[in-house]
Structure formats: structure tokens, C-alpha cells
Structure 1
């Protein structure tokens, strides 16, 4: 696909939010507005793959000027306006070619790197009629999108935030350490894999809220490495797998901190990467997390479909533990649909697969999945079905079995226990469990846990006269508000 380079005259200036575009969206959610963009495109015979992520990027000022297809759609949606009326920069200010003298001399080595994106590409590009981020769409013809186009490139090279894949893999500002890199090798793939491990380790201990924004830098760097291109296929495969796993990890941080739209976009990005490379393990992982997110977002039928798709992808991999987890994801969807029979069947499969034990084929990312997580997910299913006593039994067992390393999960299971006890008519025990969660909150930053605890507090309000309940409610009320 041809696209022109676009020099950045002020590479260090942060993007300016497009407030006009945000105002035009009005009360519609980014996803709803993206759907209206796609409908408008169909009205004029255009093809664009607009989703909530694209809308977010426009409003954040990351897309200074849309490509020609989006321009036609936006001008159709808002007749009588120009691009500048919609808050975009004039095309002439963001387009350009690298200058050469009459002899074709390349630009000086210290010239500013050129930003290549689909939004500012020079030549018209083919557009996929379906959204490439749709997790149920089999990708054959791809729009050149963020999945494969996050890089600052100059000719065949790339400028990436290498420091963001350093010892902590959490550099707050990737641009501060940009450097031109050669084509990536095995050491770069190893750094990327290490970044994934470190993010997961920090999430296990402390939860997602303090990590999400800082984890975006290594994700940008990962896709820049892909664009730079590895010379060896094995290294390229590791880079793609690592970038996909990192997208899932960042998506989980968004998911756990309540940023569901961001999480959905990251999971879809990982899924697209998996399908580009034909990686069934990455595809199963992306669908697994998509199913979990769909359940948490109140879309249980989508959760069932995504979990079943994950099982189809995972079946040839030979990991019974993975199949067990995916069956639990399906069970969660059935529980959300109030289908007790479907939930029980999926839970039975999950237990049967789990009982086969670990295997060498178990993915590295599944280190969190042991008996404690099995019990915790069962508790969530029974809670969704309104069987509070059974849910409380599983939640209590999950908290007791959990490895102390997984501080966040201990808080999560105990919060589940508190809520099940409260709803099941045991306010004093619920308050005691809630107190244990409050003890962990200085160490655990998880919006999911905080939200669950807030729900428990509301259930316990009628029992405030009990001393234990009153103490819990007072302490809960004193928590600083989530930002």
C-alpha cells in the first residue's frame, strides 16, 4: 500500500485535542458515533473501518487530518463545513514529501523522522468493508491500520521508544528516549517478552489502575519494532506474538481499571495481530479476554460466542488447562444469560479439563490459573445466577487457596466473598470480609475491586446498626474517591 511520508515540524509538541469534533459527537458514546460514521460511509459508497478507538484518537488530536475516505464521510455527515471547521488541521500543513535536490540527494541524517499513518497517507488506500477490529470477522483483506502501522519511520528504518522496553518496561514518556534502530533481532524480541512478564508481575501484586497509562509506551514501541521488520522469520514470529500478548496485557489493565472501550480496542488489536500471523495461541488468548470483557460489560451472549471461538482456536494446542479456563469464560456468559443448565455444563467441562493437570503446552500467561482462580470464577458464575450460599463457598475457598504473591486476586476473591455473604443474608460476616479487603487496598489499585466493595456497602446499608457493619461502612466511606 502506498503512502506518503509526513514530516513532523514540531515532533516534541504534544497533540492538541480536537474539541470541535468532541462537541459534534455530543451525547453519543465513541462506539455509537463510530457506528454513525460507518453508516454515513455506506450512504456515499465509501468504505471506512471506524471504531471507538479511531474516534478517541481524533478527539485526542492524534489524527491531525483524516485520510481522503474519512474526509468525504465527515463532510457528508456535516454538510457545509470544511475540515478545519471540524477541528482538523489543513491538509497542506500535515502533508509533504521529503525534499531532495535536483540530484536526488536523500535528506540529511539528522532530519526529523517522518510520521507515516493511514490518516495522512498520500495515495488513496483500499478500505475493508467490515471493521477489522470486529472479533468475529475473519480478516482476509486488511486496511493498513494501527495494528501494523504504529511507527515513526524514515525510509526503511524506524524510530522507537526503546527505553520503554528497558528494565521496568514502563517508561512514562516513550518520546523522551526515541532512537533510530536497526532491524530488530532476538534481543529486541526478548526485551518485548520481558516487558510483558514485568507488566503481568506488577499487575498481580498491585492491580491495574496505576499501570495502565504507563504501559502504553511499551505497546507503541512493540508495534514500531514490527514495522522496522526482522530479518529472521523466527524473530519476526516472536515479535508478533510478543506485541499481541502485550496488547492483551495493556487491554487487561484497561479492563481491570474500568476503561472498557479501551480494553475492547486493545483485545481486538491483539486478535487482528493473531490472525495476520496465523497464531492460534494468541487468537485463543485474545478471544478469552474478549469473552471476559463482554461478560463484565453486560454482553453475555457475546461472551459465550467469544469463549466458544477461543475454544475452537485452542483445541489443537494440547493444553487442558487452557481449555478449562475457556470453558469457565463460556460458563460466565451462560450465567449472565440466566441459563443455569448451560452454565452447569460449561462448569463441568472446566472441572474435567482442569483435573487432567498441567502440561508443557500450557501458555506462559496462564500462570495465574490454578485451583484458586478456578474456584473464584465458579463463585462469579453462581453469584450471577443468584445462588449466594454456593457462590460464597467457592469465593471463600478461592481466597484461602490463593498464592500470597497474587495480592490483587486475594483482594478480588475476598471482595466477591463479602458481596455474596451480604446478599445471602450474613451482614456481619460480609463486613468482616470487607474489612480484609480494605486492609489490602493500600497495596492493590483495582477499580474492579473498589466497585465490588462499593456494591457490598450499598447492600449492607440497611444493617448499619450492627457494630461490625457500621465500622466497615464508616471505613469504606472514608476511602478517597477513584479518579
Structure 2
């Protein structure tokens, strides 16, 4: 059996030199900004690389590191070759009819299945609590061998609680706490083989949705490799249980993540796979969202025609209205979200004025209950207005983002605002200067 013990990355440690891990992380973030990448590098990530826990960086980090050290290869930086980490060299490509997985790699999905569903039968399910405060915020997953309705309901309630807290506060403060109920949910799956079939189906669906929710927290807080892993777990769960709704949701989020990490073609493929899974479900709104995921990927490919066609399909499907068959997790997908996703497409196509029009409509339509999304929409508007040359209006929108950042913890939103500030900084003027002064006083993410 091959050892999986991590081997320290001494080459990378030497490159850090006398800088602290935090100082080096800051240098990585600066280098990312220079080439238009968005990475949430911190001292913890640097430590994971140096310990050998991260054998190969994701594509965004790869581009940043190769920018920082011109002429070097990943191997020069102490990383393993990507194909050795994924094991592609010894694998056979899937047939053309096989739907794409998160990595377009069926064996990697099998690895996820083994991790999730071959857990020890003696696993103890720990009590798992969520929330930002005391006992009233808890959502417990009970510890026992036989699984029934009460245990499944606890998993389902954990999913709802995470989504509610994310809507209000953003992902950064929730991710680590949310991983415990996820582990407990999959332990319940292992312990629940004697339950009724309907109970097992609900548990599969609940565990898969919980994996997606935790994956989204990782995604929104910049932990992209963690997000990929969680989405892969959800996809594996969907495939094992034959759950097309869960499969569509996993592909929807995987497409979003691929777009955000510079893998536009993968974003399109995942969206298309999600639509294939979603067609029998009878939810036009779900098809609309997946069409917008496709549009986002095509926008980043520079395929304006394909993007416009996908957005047109999305609007047509959205206008067919809500249905009882719409998944519960889609409560966020209202007209405001339709507008902001179109704004992001036009922004990717560098049509800043049109992007700003859609982003402005999104901020006007958004329910203030969704605090995190309201901050995100305003951050999108700030960036689009700044690039469209409307500096004063952009500064006003930036102030509205700052007004919300004491309640919302999201690396994604902070990154968007930072990008807009970089565009505004050379513009000058009293409105811009006031925003820059206030931005400089923004405390670091906690």
C-alpha cells in the first residue's frame, strides 16, 4: 500500500525566505491582483503548502506562483505534477457519452465515493451545532446507530440553518463550524442501512445538499479546493442514490466554481450536464439558473453570441414562473439574481455600461433580508460603474458596500470591492477620495 504521508515542500519554504507566512501570503495576493486573479491566500494556506498537504495548487494559484517566479515550473516550486496528483497517466478516458464530472475524471469521482461511503461502521456521530451564538442557534445531529425521521430531519434542518446564516452574514465565519455536521451526516449514512428506503433516500438527499452548502461556504470564502471536494461529494452521493435533483444542484455549483477559478470550458460543460439532469424535474426556474451558469462560462470564453443565446433561454424559462417542483434551495433565485448574473456576464464581456444597468436593477430589486447578496450586488455595481467611467456613482455604491461589511463576512465580496477600488484610485475627486479613506480603515477579515 502506498503511503499517503505528506512530504514537506522545502523548495517552497526556501522561496519564502525571511518573510513570515502572513507576509508571504500578502505578496501572493498582490501578485494575483497584478494578473487579474482572485486568490484568498493566507498564512494557513502557506502552511498547508509548506507541510506538503497541498501537493499541487489549483489553476489560479498556479498562474500566480508562476507569475511570481518567472521561468520556474511547478516542480521547481516543489509541487507534484498535476497528472501525478490526479492519477490521469494510468487511467482510461471516459467514453464520450459519460457526463462530465467536477474534474472530467471518473476515477476521481470513484475516489470520492470510497471516502464517503466506505467509512468505518464504528464511526461515532458527534453532536454538531451551528450558529453564531448560544444554544438557540444550534442544529444538532443526534448520535445513535439506527437512523429514523428525527435524525434525517436534523440533517435537513442543518442545511436550512446554514443557508439562513449565509444569507445574513456571509461564509467566512461559518465554514469551519459547518464541516462538523457534514461529517456527522455522512456518518449517519453509513449507520443507516437498516432504515426504511424512504428514510435512506431523504438522508442521501440531505447529506448531499449539506455537502453543497458547506462547499458554497468554502467557495465564497476563497477555499476553492475545499469547495471542489465538497461538490464532488455531493455529485457522488447523487449518482449513487439516483437523485437527479441533487445531481443538477451539484453541477450548478460546480459550474459556478469553475467560472470563478478560470476554467470557463468546464463551467459550460458542468452547466450542460446540470441541464440534462434537470430536464425531467419540471422546474423552469432551475433550467433558467443553469442556463445562466452556461452563459457565465461562455462570457469568460469571449463567446458573446453563445452567451447572449444562453441568457435569452434563461429569461424565457424564468418568465414561465415559479412551480411547486422548484427545489427548496432556489429561494434565492428571484428577479434580482437573474439581473446580477446577467450583469456578471456583460462584465466578463467588458460591456461595462450594460453590466452596470443590470447590476443597478439587481440592487433595487433585492430583498434586504438577503444581506449577503445585497452587499455582493452593490460590490458588482461598484466595479461595473468604476470601469464604465462613472467614478462618483461608483464611489457612492462602494460606500453602501462598506456599510454592510460589519455584518457580512465574505472574502468574495471583499475581493470584488478591492478590485473596484484599484480601478477608482487613479480617478481622484472628493467622492473617490472619501471612499478610499474609508476603505483604508476597513479592518482585516476576521
In the aligned structure 2, how far is the partner of 1:160 from the partner of 1:282?
A: 24
Offset, 1:41: 9.0
Secondary structure at the aligned position of 2:406 is classed as coil
In the aligned structure 1, how far is the partner of 2:438 from the partner of 2:278?
A: 45
Q: 2:270 aligns with which of 294, 306, 317?
A: 306
Q: 1:432 aligns with which of 388, 396, 399?
A: 396
Partner of 1:398: 362
Q: Note closer, same or farther for the CA distance 1:220–1:133 as it changes in structure 2 (3 Å cut).
A: farther
Q: Note closer, same or farther for the CA distance 1:392–1:364 as it changes in structure 2 (3 Å cut).
A: same
Map 1:328-367 → 2, pairs under 5 A: 328-367=292-331
1:181-206 per-residue CA deviation (whole Å, 9 max, x = no partner) reads: 12111111100000000000000011
Offset, 1:161: 1.2
The root-mean-square deviation of aligned C-alpha atoms, in Å, is 2.9
Map 1:53-132 → 2, pairs under 5 A: none
Secondary structure at the aligned position of 2:125 is classed as strand
Partner of 1:247: 211
Asked if 1:164 is matched to 2:129, the reply is yes
> In the alignment, is the contact (CA less than 8 A) between 1:168 and 1:195 conserved in 2?
no
Partner of 2:169: 206
In the aligned structure 2, how far is the partner of 1:471 from the partner of 1:227?
A: 56
Asked if 1:145 is matched to 2:133, the reply is no
Report the more deviating stretch, 226-235 or 290-299: 226-235
Offset, 1:164: 3.5
Partner of 1:35: 82
Partner of 2:291: 327
Q: Note closer, same or farther for the CA distance 1:41–1:375 as it changes in structure 2 (3 Å cut).
A: closer
1:181-240 per-residue CA deviation (whole Å, 9 max, x = no partner) reads: 121111111000000000000000110000011100000000000010242010000111
Offset, 1:20: 3.5
Offset, 1:163: 3.7
> In the alignment, is the contact (CA less than 8 A) between 1:133 and 1:265 conserved in 2?
no
1:409-457 per-residue CA deviation (whole Å, 9 max, x = no partner) reads: 1111111111111000010000000000000000111111100000111
Q: Note closer, same or farther for the CA distance 1:39–1:199 as it changes in structure 2 (3 Å cut).
A: closer
Q: Note closer, same or farther for the CA distance 1:139–1:366 as it changes in structure 2 (3 Å cut).
A: farther
Q: Note closer, same or farther for the CA distance 1:433–1:39 as it changes in structure 2 (3 Å cut).
A: closer
Moved over 6 A (4+): none
Offset, 1:478: 1.1
Partner of 1:474: 437
In the aligned structure 2, how far is the partner of 1:372 from the partner of 1:162?
A: 37
Which 5+ residue runs of structure 2 have no aligned equivalent? 10-48, 59-78, 93-97
Offset, 1:364: 0.2
> In the alignment, is the contact (CA less than 8 A) between 1:378 and 1:394 conserved in 2?
yes
Q: Note closer, same or farther for the CA distance 1:389–1:30 as it changes in structure 2 (3 Å cut).
A: closer
Q: 2:234 aligns with which of 270, 283, 289?
A: 270
In the aligned structure 1, how far is the partner of 2:312 from the partner of 2:101?
A: 32
In the aligned structure 1, how far is the partner of 2:197 from the partner of 2:385?
A: 54
Secondary structure at the aligned position of 2:124 is classed as strand
Whichever structure has more helix as a proportion of its residues is 2
1:63-113 per-residue CA deviation (whole Å, 9 max, x = no partner) reads: xxxxxxxxxxxxxxxxxxxxxxxxxxxxxxxxxxxxxxxxxxxxxxxxxxx
1:273-325 per-residue CA deviation (whole Å, 9 max, x = no partner) reads: 10011110000000000000011101111110100000000001000000000
Asked if 1:411 is matched to 2:411, the reply is no
Q: 2:423 aligns with which of 459, 465, 471?
A: 459
Q: 2:8 aligns with which of 20, 31, 39?
A: 20
> In the alignment, is the contact (CA less than 8 A) between 1:284 and 1:310 conserved in 2?
yes
> In the alignment, is the contact (CA less than 8 A) between 2:169 and 2:408 conserved in 1?
yes
Partner of 2:406: 442
Q: Note closer, same or farther for the CA distance 1:27–1:402 as it changes in structure 2 (3 Å cut).
A: closer
In the aligned structure 2, how far is the partner of 1:196 from the partner of 1:410?
A: 21
Instruction: Choose 1 or 2 for highest CA Rg.
Output: 1
Secondary structure at the aligned position of 1:224 is classed as helix
1:149-175 per-residue CA deviation (whole Å, 9 max, x = no partner) reads: 455x43xxx41013437964578xx9x
Partner of 1:62: none
Offset, 1:147: 1.9
Secondary structure at the aligned position of 1:159 is classed as coil
> In the alignment, is the contact (CA less than 8 A) between 1:169 and 1:199 conserved in 2?
no
In the aligned structure 1, how far is the partner of 2:87 from the partner of 2:232?
A: 23
In the aligned structure 2, how far is the partner of 1:26 from the partner of 1:215?
A: 21
> In the alignment, is the contact (CA less than 8 A) between 1:150 and 1:224 conserved in 2?
yes
Offset, 1:142: 4.2
Aligned length: 372
Secondary structure at the aligned position of 1:298 is classed as coil
Offset, 1:467: 0.7
Q: TM-score, normalised by structure 1?
A: 0.72
Partner of 1:223: 186
